Structure 1
Amino acid sequence: MVNEKLSSDNLKNVDIAKDVLDQLPCMVMAVDLDFNILFLNDTGCEWMGDDFENVEGKKCYDLVKSAHCRTDNCRIKQAMNNDRKYVWRNEITTGGKTFPIEYTAAPLKDKDGNIVGGVEYVIDISERVEIEKEVQEHSRTIMELSTPVIKLWDGIVILPLVGVIDTMRAQQIIENLLSSIVENEATVAILDVTGVPMIDTSVAQHILKTVSAGKMLGAEIIITGFSPNVAQTLVTLGVDLSDIITCGSLKDGVSKAFTLVGRKLV
């Protein structure tokens, strides 16, 4: 009982809410309707490189700058005007540093439910952004390795495709093939789809775009290796391949490519 009473008495002298907010690793800032700072926790003060006594009452946009400050896209302004929360990513500059953030902006209300300002919870996501960039870079590398363009001969390049092709990979195929056409000054490009089990309408449209783009670069595109199932699917879907050079096998496609560049396989 004595310990409980002492504990209770001690808590009377502690601002629990402020202490909890000061322990958070994110910045917590409250402003009034005119964007004057009412509260800033310890993390926020550290980010700004100043004490709360020196920032209290100052405009938040003078101390924490972002592309949305002083615009209608300011989320804390929208939170106060629309009485709702906003979660957003942005980049801020404060304390002489610029870094990416994720934050929640919400209205600040009094006991009667009237909006008297706004509050922001701001998280530094620098590490997360770096990890996301690394993952994207690794994914890009994997995509490039899965869509290798090979120089077969002077003026001829070949792109053998294996596996399922989704929209993202189809876009990568287009970029790799067109880049290779330019780099190798190719006049013929072979797109071999022997290892592709299925081609839907979306992928077929990407192939048609590839052919059109290749012709704009001065290269003829030969598509080889349509399986009977894929051919039947394309006919059923009504995909028009009449303007595209197609060959049943890669061997026939290579022979056709050499003919187009004025050479002959013996």
Structure 2
Amino acid sequence: MLYILIGIAEALCVAALVLVGIWMGVYRGGVAWDGSTSEFNVHPIMMTLGLIVFNGNALMLYRACRRTPHVWVKTAHVVLHCLALICACVALAAVWQYHDANGLPNVYSIHSWIGITVFILFAVQWLIGLFMFAFPCASLQQRDRYKPLHIFLGVFIFGGACAAALIGIEDKLMLSISTTYSSRPPEAYVANFFGYVILALAAVVTFIVTFAPWKRPEDIASEWQPIVTSTPARGLNIQEPSDL
């Protein structure tokens, strides 16, 4: 059942990228980096790829790779979150430059407030996690205390990103086709199904990473091994909560 749901989650990730690509590419004029509305279109594509697809896959890794050596899973987790952060930065730069080029205010809507909050939380979580778990900059006791919060914030941030995306979809529709939205043009169907896919993906990923019987089996020695060394920790006797 676990791997069936992971397959469904991956299919939803592909569907989300296809739908946002069709929406921005076919109905909104494609992408560019010139201050036009085409530059704005970079924002939803890169946010979907970064904070939803890459981020969601990073969370599912600890359930999908249950028998893979922990240090490899941790490394892939870090890499996916690095890619997510890069995508989010590009997305924010695109929308900010578009607003500035067209004399529009920044960070005034509930979508932007939630989005900026999620981005800041993600960046702080990434930075703390990098030096807490990936590199030997914290004691085992500090890692042990922080780990439950790290896991909670990971799920919360992913849910917040999905919520911001849903609000952003509605905002974009109201700004773009408010006069024809009620007549259900093809663009409305694409955007609405995109929102449905985001909602379904949020539900599936959250279930996968919080369903207790699917927790990764504990391996204390490799659990606390930094990714920068190939020497496993030895002699540890730490009773910590399981990974995602």
TM range (shorter): under 0.3
> TM-score if structure 1 supplies the norm length?
0.23
Larger radius of gyration: 1
Structure number with higher helix proportion: 2
Task: Compare relative contact order (CA 8 Å, sep 6+) and give the higher one, 1 or 2.
Answer: 2
> TM-score if structure 2 supplies the norm length?
0.24
Structure number with higher strand proportion: 1
